Amino acid sequence: MQKPNFLTGEEAAKMIKNGSTIATIGMTLVSASETILKAIEQRFLTTGSPNTLTLVHSCGQSDRDRGIQHFAHEGMLQRIIGGHWGLQPRMMKLISENKILAYNIPQGQFAQLYRSMAGGEPGKITKVGLGTYIDPRIDGGKMNDITKTAPDIVDIVSIDGEEYMRYKPIPLDYCIIRGTYVDEMGNLTTDEEAMQLEVLSAVLACKKFGGKVIAQAKYKVKNGSLHCKQVIVPGIFIDVVVLCPTPEEDHRQTHSFSFDPAYCGDIKVPASSDDILEMNLRKVIGRRALMELHINDVLNVGTGIPNDVVGPILAEESISDDVTITVESGIYGGIPLGGVDFGIAKNNFALLRHDDQFDYYNGAGVDITFMGAGEIDPDGNVNATKLGPNPTGAGGFIDITTNAKHVVFCSSFTGKGLDCSFEDGKLHINHEGSLIKFVNKVQQISYNGKIARKKHQKMHYITERAVFELQPEGLVLTEIAPGIDLQTQILDLMEFTPIISENLQEMKPEIFSATIPYGLKEFIKKH
């Protein structure tokens, strides 16, 4: 059996040739191969090579500073094909300024595209993406002007008279992965990683195209000391191993900490005061959103407001055992972390591979998903992927909202400067936001309201002061917060006039109270 070469990060960086296509595996800072990525960046800054690279990644892999931000240099990158850039300000700047070609593929389709590539299939064929900006008849996932005339990486195929998206294979020259233990033969585990991700699928996809696999590991162990079920990638598929010399800095479990056994399932920890949310606008939105739950629902939470508040609210209300929370990274149960640590959770009872999780999301679909959003129009179209000049990308948004039985979008009613307070079960607007979110036409269609209505998908759009429901006739205002004036604090702050329900109701005052619990368990039992 052939052994991999054990090299330093600097030596591995010298392998990368100009014009190469490189796949990196990770989410936020989880499983980011910092030792290798930093070395590649430093070589470019010092020598000008490697340059004109194509970077391929399914997830957002950064904490606003590290991760694939190391590739965010003009000249170093020629093209990026990615899933999400919300935590990559320098990369978004390169994209918005037309310094690189930029394509966006929905995260779940990307993770599974590796699997299709590995098996020699003609791409990933699915209905996910139809009618959104990923559709080649709209934008084809092209995120800036210079990419508009570049070749398509998606197309439309017809099977048995039905339309499908085809995400085309992407030949890979290198694949950069990370694990915990590696033995002398290169067998790699992910014991201390907070996610399983799609590591093996990407490795096999790379091998299909004759590429090289470079793995960063935390510990080297004697051959034969790893249990066969621990091994995620057999050593025969790994060409180079880089042992991280500074794990606390460059092999962190996530952005916030070097290693915590609770986030890789080694231990369970008791609830703490840190899990209690302060009373604020985001909590109010989350409280009302969760009133759409039913007992035994399987739910998903997306980035932003949902991931930051849903898990803690469920814990506060003692209903974590009555529903099952999931996250696109493969999490089932527990309390997810938010912000730059999105995608991990403590006390979860199961952790699936990233690409396997999307088999569920894209197939059966969750009972209900809670997603962030930026703009909505009269047809119920939602933009959550390009806000102002920033091309954040889809992440798992399109995958999950396409097939969820019920989609609940969570957002403040206005943006930029909105300040609220809560007193006597009422909402008070101290300072109105200057950004209008209910617009005549969304900047980018991330969720297609017309398609949703055609397939009778249930959808709510929930803010701190108003609740809207997508009905056959269009977007309908169904609830307003106590203390809010319909005309001046809702209708006057919209570019269009929604349909107003004949049975317009007031949001429950308990939502705006600091009392814990606020009564969610009792409500959903009656729901």
Residues noted as catalytic: 328
Q: Where are the beta strands (DSSP E) in 302-442?
A: 324-327, 331-332, 335-336, 345-346, 350-351, 368-372, 375-376, 382-383, 386-387, 390-391, 406-410, 414-415, 419-423, 426-431, 435-436
CA distance 462 to 48: 49
Cis peptide before 171 (omega within 30 of 0): no
Residue 34 burial by Cβ neighbours in a 10 Å radius (0-12, 13-18, 19+): buried
Q: Which residues contact 317 (CB under 8 A, 6 or more apart)?
A: 290, 516, 517, 518, 520, 521
Task: List phi, psi (to 5°) of 175.
Answer: -135, 125
Tell me how crowded residue 91 is: count the other CB atoms within 10 A of its CB: 29
Tell me how crowded residue 261 is: count the other CB atoms within 10 A of its CB: 13
What are the residue ranges of helices labelled H in 48-134? 89-96, 107-118
DSSP secondary structure letter of residue 146 = G
Residue owning tokens 């006390």:
347
Q: Are 468 and 478 spatial neighbours (Cβ–Cβ below 8 Å)?
A: yes
Burial letters 385-403, b for 16+ CB under 10 A, else e: bbbeebbbbbbbbbbbbbb
Closest by CA position to 399, among listed 84, 175, 173, 95: 84
Closest by CA position to 409, among listed 417, 399, 418, 401: 401
- Provide the sign of the torsion angle of the four alpha carbons 365, 366, 368, 372, taken in this order: negative
Q: What is the dihedral of CA 32, 33, 34, 36, to 10 degrees?
A: -150
236 beta partners: none
Q: What is the dihedral of CA 39, 40, 42, 43, to 10 degrees?
A: 110
Tell me how crowded residue 117 is: count the other CB atoms within 10 A of its CB: 27
